[in-house]
């Protein structure tokens, strides 16, 4: 078989796996959810189609408030994250460019949402670190009676979402900025008398937007449908819609499965409506932007808001860092009375007393992450190698399909997929959980690996081919070693995404597969912060160790190359 034919076969195989293993399950899950949403679930005796589930859903106490909270927290967190990420990039572009930004933001990218939420709860609670710091200044002899976590407006949830998503959007924006000459644009604009903020808003932002639109929609879809962060930081009665639906799905009354399925479809509809709102806002801002450009103002009024947003972003990073430290501190604290800033005594008893459950959860988490990431990485490499051998570039429609699992709210199709797996006898085991997690791990692995792979100097494989190396040998001996750092980075991202999965593990594991994430979320409502801190610290430690390995292994493997380069110099 020729290289082109071999490439077509590889790409066809990768696409078949994508279609049958990723897109097919999502479509099947949505179809099952839609059937139940309109009253068809023979397993519980519901055999007559109708609108009864929707009437039951709309009649639930606090339902309207849950929808309002979902829109407020989801849209508010997304808009605020975008504004802060843009302000930080504009203000600190020169310092953030390059690998330094990735390394500085790694802890925030690696830590799972649940672990960050638990750490923030430790920091923001009435007896948390921030209040302990200011208690002597305010003369507080007891924790204040304030709902700082789980507040009815969802402010703590918005804060947690912003802290988690801003680093992702900053890296996406920095990556997009490499595609055009930023310094030349800044120099040209400032030479004409425009302020730095005006150049970023009038010249760079319109070029950036098409490149970051899709990642922003991924952030928006997650913010509208988050469950674990909603459980830990969001209001509890009524909660955000995704949390309400999760409670309905796992209620002992099976009749509630029908309104829960209707709510899952509504959750998907909210995401679609939010995407339409983004599309409408883009067109409205385009008209406003043209009017602003034609006015010819120098935009000096934009400087103060940009600086305030950037400063706010740095404050949020500081709070996020404090949350990470709080996890570790509580896991080692033994006696920590109010209002002491640090524990009076430290101990490993919380770690040693966690019992065999901690070890089993850790082992399951590690196995799931390793297997899921390996499968996703193999599929991504097969896809990209098929592109190379078939001499075909990016397929836009295929990349849109890859993003699909990140744009559809998880709760909209996971229960339907679980029903389908039950019929096939696949639900409740590690295999089902691996499959479900791979739906979300593969897109991130593919996104992380595709640009470095396509940027590989084509002269390297050509030189190997001229020496008689076949396609497989060129892949193993040239491409994979040269791309070791991006491959390991993509693997670290896959590990972090796998470890963070809560709903896929809960639904597809039928509540029987305990991981660090499911246990940490469950323990977050318990009274013992020490045990919760142990699980959350270990949950955060697995992705952080993966990122550390992704930085250290290439440095060790290629140390001789750097030494040789230094000797030549």
Same topology between domain 1-38+368-569 and domain 64-346: yes
| pLDDT at residue 146 in the model | 79
Q: Where are the domains of the chain?
A: 1-38+368-569, 64-346
- pLDDT-wise least confident of 242-246, 294-298, 399-403, 414-418: 294-298
pLDDT in tens, 244-262: 999 999 888 888 999 999 9
* Helix, strand, coil content of the chain in percent (nearest 5): 80, 0, 20
CATH number of 1-38+368-569: 1.10.3720.10
| pLDDT at residue 181 in the model | 82
How far apart, in whole angstroms, are the C-alpha atoms of residue 307 and residue 427?
51
- Paired sense of beta strands 40-41 and 46-47, if any: antiparallel
Give the mean model confidence (pLDDT) for residues 363-386.
Answer: 91
Between 178 and 537, the higher pLDDT residue? 537
pLDDT in tens, 432-458: 899 889 989 998 998 888 888 888 878
Indicate whether 273 pLDDT > 90: yes
Please state, in angstroms and as integers, the Cα–Cα distance from residue 557 to each residue in 219, 282, 449, following that order. Answer: 35, 46, 19
State the burial class of residue 290 (Cβ atoms within 10 Å of its Cβ: 0-12, 13-18, 19+).
Answer: exposed
User: Coil, strand or helix: which one is 94?
Assistant: helix
Indicate whether 188 pLDDT > 90: no
How far apart, in whole angstroms, are the C-alpha atoms of residue 173 and residue 194?
22
Indicate whether 401 pLDDT > 50: yes
Residue 306's pLDDT band (boundaries 50, 70, 90)?
confident
- Paired sense of beta strands 46-47 and 333-335, if any: unpaired
Residue 5: left (phi > 0), alpha (psi -120 to 50), or beta?
alpha
User: Coil, strand or helix: which one is 335?
Assistant: strand
Give the Cβ contact number of residue 517 at 10 Å.
27
User: How many CA within 13 A on the CB side of residue 137?
Assistant: 6
Give percent above pLDDT 70 in the chain: 91
Element (H, E) at 333: strand 333-335
How far apart, in whole angstroms, are the C-alpha atoms of residue 9 and residue 389?
10
Please report the beta strands in 44-99, taking only residues with DSSP state E, as ranges in sequence order.
46-47
Task: Return the residue matching tokens 């690996």.
Answer: 449
Question: What per-residue string of b and e applies to 308-330 under the rule 16 or more CB within 10 Å gives b?
Answer: ebbebbeebbebbebbbebbbbb
| pLDDT at residue 97 in the model | 61
- pLDDT-wise least confident of 115-119, 288-292, 374-378: 288-292
Q: What are phi and psi of 531, to 5 degrees?
A: -65, -40
How far apart, in whole angstroms, are the C-alpha atoms of residue 435 and residue 373?
11
Look up residue 346 and give its DSSP letter.
E
Superfamily of domain 64-346: MetI-like (1.10.3720.10)
How far apart, in whole angstroms, are the C-alpha atoms of residue 402 and residue 376?
12
Residue 564's pLDDT band (boundaries 50, 70, 90)?
very low
Indicate whether 369 pLDDT > 90: yes
Q: What does pLDDT average to over the chain?
A: 85
How far apart, in whole angstroms, are the C-alpha atoms of residue 406 and residue 410?
8
- Nearest residue to 531 (alpha-carbon basis) of 355, 360, 362: 355
Give the mean model confidence (pLDDT) for residues 342-349.
Answer: 89
Element (H, E) at 41: strand 40-41
Indicate whether 565 pLDDT > 60: no
Give the mean model confidence (pLDDT) for residues 314-323.
Answer: 91
| pLDDT at residue 55 in the model | 94
Residue 526's pLDDT band (boundaries 50, 70, 90)?
confident
Q: What are phi and psi of 36, to 5 degrees?
A: -65, -35
| pLDDT at residue 264 in the model | 94
| pLDDT at residue 398 in the model | 65
Task: Return the residue matching tokens 């696949």.
Answer: 426
Q: Are 269 and 278 in contact (CB under 8 A)?
A: no
Give the Cβ contact number of residue 387 at 10 Å.
21
- The alpha carbon dihedral of 21, 26, 32, 36 has a sign of positive
Q: Are 298 and 198 in contact (CB under 8 A)?
A: yes
| pLDDT at residue 464 in the model | 84
How far apart, in whole angstroms, are the C-alpha atoms of residue 392 and residue 213?
25
State the burial class of residue 401 (Cβ atoms within 10 Å of its Cβ: 0-12, 13-18, 19+).
Answer: middle
| pLDDT at residue 567 in the model | 47
- The alpha carbon dihedral of 285, 87, 216, 37 has a sign of negative
Q: Are 524 and 117 in contact (CB under 8 A)?
A: yes
| pLDDT at residue 393 in the model | 61
User: Coil, strand or helix: which one is 345?
Assistant: strand
**H and E: helices and strands count for the chain:** 28, 4
Q: Which two tokens stand for residue 352?
A: 């040693």
| pLDDT at residue 200 in the model | 83
pLDDT in tens, 452-503: 888 887 888 888 888 888 878 888 888 888 888 889 999 999 999 999 999 9
Please state, in angstroms and as integers, the Cα–Cα distance from residue 231 to each residue in 227, 255, 415, 524, following that order. Answer: 6, 23, 18, 9
pLDDT in tens, 39-62: 888 888 888 888 999 999 999 999
| pLDDT at residue 569 in the model | 47
Q: Are 439 and 375 in contact (CB under 8 A)?
A: no
């Amino acid at each position: 078989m020729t290289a082109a034919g071999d490439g077509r076969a590889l790409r066809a195989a990768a696409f078949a796996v994508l279609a049958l293993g990723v897109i097919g399950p999502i479509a099947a899950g949505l179809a099952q959810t839609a059937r139940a949403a309109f009253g068809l679930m023979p397993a519980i005796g519901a055999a007559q189609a109708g609108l009864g589930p929707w009437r039951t859903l709309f009649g639930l106490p606090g339902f309207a408030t849950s929808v309002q909270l979902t829109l407020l927290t989801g849209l508010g967190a997304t808009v605020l994250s975008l504004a802060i990420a843009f302000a930080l990039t504009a203000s600190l572009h020169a310092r953030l460019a390059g690998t330094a930004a990735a390394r500085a933001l790694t802890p925030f990218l690696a830590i799972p949402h649940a672990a960050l939420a638990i750490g923030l709860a430790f920091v923001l609670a009435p007896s948390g670190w921030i209040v302990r710091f200011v208690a002597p200044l305010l003369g507080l002899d007891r924790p204040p009676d304030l709902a700082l976590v789980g507040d009815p407006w969802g402010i703590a949830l918005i804060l947690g979402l912003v802290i988690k998503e801003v680093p992702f959007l900053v890296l996406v924006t920095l990556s997009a900025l490499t595609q055009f000459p930023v310094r030349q644009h800044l120099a040209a604009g400032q030479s004409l008398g425009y302020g730095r903020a005006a150049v970023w808003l009038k010249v760079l932002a319109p070029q950036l937007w098409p490149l970051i639109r899709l990642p922003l929609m991924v952030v928006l879809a997650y913010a509208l449908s988050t469950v674990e962060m909603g459980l830990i930081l969001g209001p509890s009665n009524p909660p955000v819609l995704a949390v309400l639906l999760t409670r309905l799905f796992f209620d002992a009354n099976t009749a509630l499965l029908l309104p829960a399925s209707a709510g899952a479809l509504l959750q998907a509809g909210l995401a679609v409506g939010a995407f339409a709102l983004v599309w409408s806002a883009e067109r409205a801002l385009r008209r406003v932007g043209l009017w602003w450009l034609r006015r010819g103002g120098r935009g000096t009024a934009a400087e103060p808001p940009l600086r305030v947003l950037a400063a706010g972003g740095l404050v949020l990073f500081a709070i996020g860092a404090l949350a990470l430290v709080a996890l570790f501190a509580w896991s080692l604290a033994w006696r920590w009375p109010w209002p002491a800033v640090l524990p009076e005594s430290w101990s490993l008893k919380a770690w040693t007393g966690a019992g065999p459950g901690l070890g089993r959860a850790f082992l399951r988490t590690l196995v799931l992450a390793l297997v899921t990431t390996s499968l996703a990485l193999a599929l991504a490499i097969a896809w990209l190698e098929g592109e190379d051998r078939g001499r075909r570039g990016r397929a836009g429609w295929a990349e849109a399909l890859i993003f699909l699992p990140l744009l559809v709210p998880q709760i909209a199709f996971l229960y339907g997929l679980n029903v389908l797996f039950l019929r096939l006898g696949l639900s409740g085991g590690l295999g089902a959980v691996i499959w479900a997690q791979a739906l979300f791990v593969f897109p991130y692995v593919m996104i992380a690996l595709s640009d470095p792979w396509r940027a590989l100097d084509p002269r390297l494989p050509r030189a190997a081919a001229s020496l008689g190396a076949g396609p497989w040998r060129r892949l193993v001996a040239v491409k994979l070693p040269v791309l070791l750092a991006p491959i390991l980075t993509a693997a670290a991202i896959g590990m972090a995404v796998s470890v963070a999965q809560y709903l896929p593990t809960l639904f597809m594991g039928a509540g029987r597969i305990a991981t660090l994430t499911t246990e940490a979320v469950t323990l977050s409502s318990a009274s013992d912060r020490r045990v919760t801190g142990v699980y959350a610290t270990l949950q955060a430690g697995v992705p952080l160790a993966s990122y550390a390995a992704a930085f250290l292994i290439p440095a060790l493997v290629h140390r001789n190359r750097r030494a040789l380069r230094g000797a030549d110099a």
